[in-house]
Structure 1
């Protein structure tokens, strides 16, 4: 069957890719044509044959976003519970006291994933690195959504826990870690062979402090044998920084370098607590140079950290050092445009500089930065030969107007609301602001049921045996319902009383 051609005619604005200058640029007016899964033409008048024509005069046409770091099968159901938690005894991190309070069953994971995938598509994400625990139907759900998915099944040889709320301990089980690595390898191989043709894999040892040296070395070897990217959580807490220093006498970045993991195929999830961060009070300043020289990427996820008063120090400094930067959602809501806005505001606040970062910097991280980390030069850009991963933004949406600079209007004012249509591989997956391949409303009901089941078990996982409502109380106290007033005694008119007498 011959591939069909679609023309987006007379586009109001196009964010095109200038390959010679290696940058995104605005075009006003012109057509964008794609045949099958590939872009044919960007700009000018398309005069070739076509099967479908779309009036794009009131649209900004831009490349789809690359979400480099997300946990869609878990984070969705934490909404309303972990929004405002953090542990002062663990440098404000929520990892050690709160992260594993919730145990999610497979039905809950499937429902959570469907909701998160819907949110991602509606916010313009066309490529996702999904860092999750393997579960039944995972790959098929990604394929059903239409997203370009990189499955990153987590594995580790140890776990952290706290007995008292102020110290972190580790328990290691190396055979179990090896078994989980083998499971992960079977999943990524299945993703690469999936009949949808849009799935691939990422080798993802879960955290630097929960993986043994042998497991990390073997994970890297397996990834490189497959020509597959690597991603690991590292430099995500002061506790972890100090633990890696205690074990190895190296910063987390230094330890990854010593193991041979740093390189253009490695993404560090978060990468906040490097040796220059003021919270670690370290004397050396080598980590950013190690990342830049090796070509390692940092997946920046500002929202999940800024909720706890934690931030990268800082986005523009990493960029100035030459570090490739990508963006991820990590937590609820899985709203990529909000994540971009938060990255800008947090970066400017921490740097004390209204120019650092700019909307241009963040857009690059959200597109070509993430693509580079995944080893792809055919996504995150609109150019002939690139994948037809395309997002259409309604320029007439009130939050976009006046349209002097549409990218700024999208990021700073409108958010995801004016995103109307999304194509991935040339196939429409969002039409008129509605996800075509998933049932978001039904999935939301199932997530609520899963959340209730999990919350009822929180006391079993909390170090002090506390129930969920004690560990994570509501934002406001509940009002005391006053006792009903006694019924008034009916009054009898004096004349009537005398008559009765």
Structure 2
């Protein structure tokens, strides 16, 4: 239950991450006091009137995490793990599927449910602000206004601070029968999608007492035409709206943009007026070297780093520390399951040091800053991602009692080295307690998980119609260890039907 606007609540714990106006600072035996939706005190020895004191004991109270590529889906990327190429498993459209006419894999109700499931996972992992992302390959096209009106309701119900808008695009890549890559374009549909996004922004910007904010979310740079991106840039200026655009995330994408547009992805965005402080760019991996890094730094655009999802395929940002040294603002995203930013910090730190050949350019604090201050800067905000008087009461509590954390020597280092998302035991967003003792308020976990499992089975089955030749869907997903009662030399391995 959200306290009233004049209710004063004080939290205390063994460690509190405050903000001194420039940087995060650590208070031992610290206190955080908030009234309504805003923080009024961070430190020790608060002497004002308090309606309720809550002592979390041995825990780290800190700012909520900001996830700017937050999984809003039942994750499909996990299906590719050790299962071969995406074209062969129906994670890209085949020419026959495109000719027959793409269709939705989920019902309208199921589309909204996937957000409820994902938003619950985000809150459980200490994420208080999210800009969600979902896959388009299993959609008939892109997302809709009505769908996102419902999604906004789900976010408000759960209490998650979100930047929302229906994804739009003017094209989709597909695999021709001869094995070459084709590109299907529908300019009118892309521009209609942008109109829907503008309508959503106008109707929902600041909705639910400011918990819901609007954003322009074109799909990927290679699925957007020049006209669509030019109009997106103009609308972003007019509305002062953030624009998130996935780019520099694959060699095929870079080659395609250079072939079609005659420039690197970032150079092309610069030409279109889409490199600005409002630009939020996952993933920034494949660039044209120093010239592209200088473009990013000079423009004020932010790179959203999602280390885990790329490491699974053997890819990594060239150097987190060198990007940072160039003056590029870095934020963090999950983009896959699990929705665990602590895991992304840990793996991101290790990967950065491998890529950089040493341990001097990237620190644990750099990763934590990206998940808090960097995300806030990308959104043009100075009232989230920090605990300070006047900031929003977006607060997380991470238990430091877990034996898996080892002996405590530094709360942040212990969490980055050994912590996990479910060490988050409580979360407050806009002053509302949205999770207590690890339980997201109003959510029946077993029921939620059962429905997610049923819906995931629907997604897995849908792969068959998109794959060339429409193979039995069970042959597309091979278990890591063959099932003893299902294996024969004559037949491919199959997975257990989740609905059986």
Please, what TM-score do these two structures have when normalized by structure 1? 0.88
Other-structure match for 2:341: 336
1:367 equivalent to 2:372? Answer yes
1:399 equivalent to 2:397? Answer no
Other-structure match for 1:4: 7
Which residues of 2 match residues 55-94 of structure 1 at below 5 A? 55-72=55-72, 74=73, 76-78=74-76, 81-85=79-83, 87=85
Other-structure match for 1:175: 188
Task: Give the length in aligned residue pairs.
Answer: 465
- Contact 1:102–1:458, Cα closer than 8 Å, also in 2: no
CA RMSD in angstroms, aligned pairs only: 2.4
Q: Deviations over 1:47-72 (max 9, x none)?
A: 11111101144221110000011231
State how far apart, in whole Å, the 1-side matches of 2:86 and 2:208 are: 48
State how far apart, in whole Å, the 1-side matches of 2:5 and 2:173 are: 54
Deviates more, 1:59-68 or 1:458-467: 458-467
Q: Find 1:199's aligned residue among 212, 220, 231.
A: 212
Other-structure match for 2:496: none
Structure 2: runs of 5 or more not aligned: 135-142, 488-500
Other-structure match for 2:120: 118
State how far apart, in whole Å, the 1-side matches of 2:129 and 2:417 are: 22
State how far apart, in whole Å, the 1-side matches of 2:416 and 2:103 are: 34
Other-structure match for 2:137: none
Structure 1: runs of 5 or more not aligned: 277-284, 483-501
Other-structure match for 2:459: 454
- DSSP-derived class of the 2:421 partner: coil
Other-structure match for 1:499: none
Other-structure match for 2:20: 18
- Contact 1:102–1:454, Cα closer than 8 Å, also in 2: no
Deviates more, 1:433-442 or 1:316-325: 433-442
State how far apart, in whole Å, the 2-side matches of 1:368 and 1:434 are: 26
State how far apart, in whole Å, the 2-side matches of 1:127 and 1:2 are: 21
Other-structure match for 1:261: 274
Deviates more, 1:285-294 or 1:80-89: 80-89
- Contact 1:102–1:455, Cα closer than 8 Å, also in 2: no
Please, what TM-score do these two structures have when normalized by structure 2? 0.88
- DSSP-derived class of the 2:111 partner: helix
Other-structure match for 2:316: 311
State how far apart, in whole Å, the 1-side matches of 2:162 and 2:312 are: 27
Higher Cα Rg, which structure: 1
Q: Deviations over 1:237-276 (max 9, x none)?
A: 1001001111222110010011111011001111111113
- Contact 1:84–1:308, Cα closer than 8 Å, also in 2: no
State how far apart, in whole Å, the 1-side matches of 2:310 and 2:455 are: 25
1:302 equivalent to 2:307? Answer yes
1:42 equivalent to 2:42? Answer yes
- DSSP-derived class of the 1:270 partner: coil
Label 1:48 to 1:165 Cα distance change in 2 as closer, same or farther (>3 A).
Answer: farther
State how far apart, in whole Å, the 2-side matches of 1:376 and 1:229 are: 11
CA apart distance, 1:445: 1.4
State how far apart, in whole Å, the 2-side matches of 1:397 and 1:196 are: 36
Other-structure match for 1:282: none
State how far apart, in whole Å, the 2-side matches of 1:475 and 1:271 are: 31
Q: Deviations over 1:161-187 (max 9, x none)?
A: 112484321111111111111112222
- Contact 2:285–2:318, Cα closer than 8 Å, also in 1: yes
- DSSP-derived class of the 1:70 partner: strand
Label 1:464 to 1:443 Cα distance change in 2 as closer, same or farther (>3 A).
Answer: same
State how far apart, in whole Å, the 1-side matches of 2:42 and 2:203 are: 35
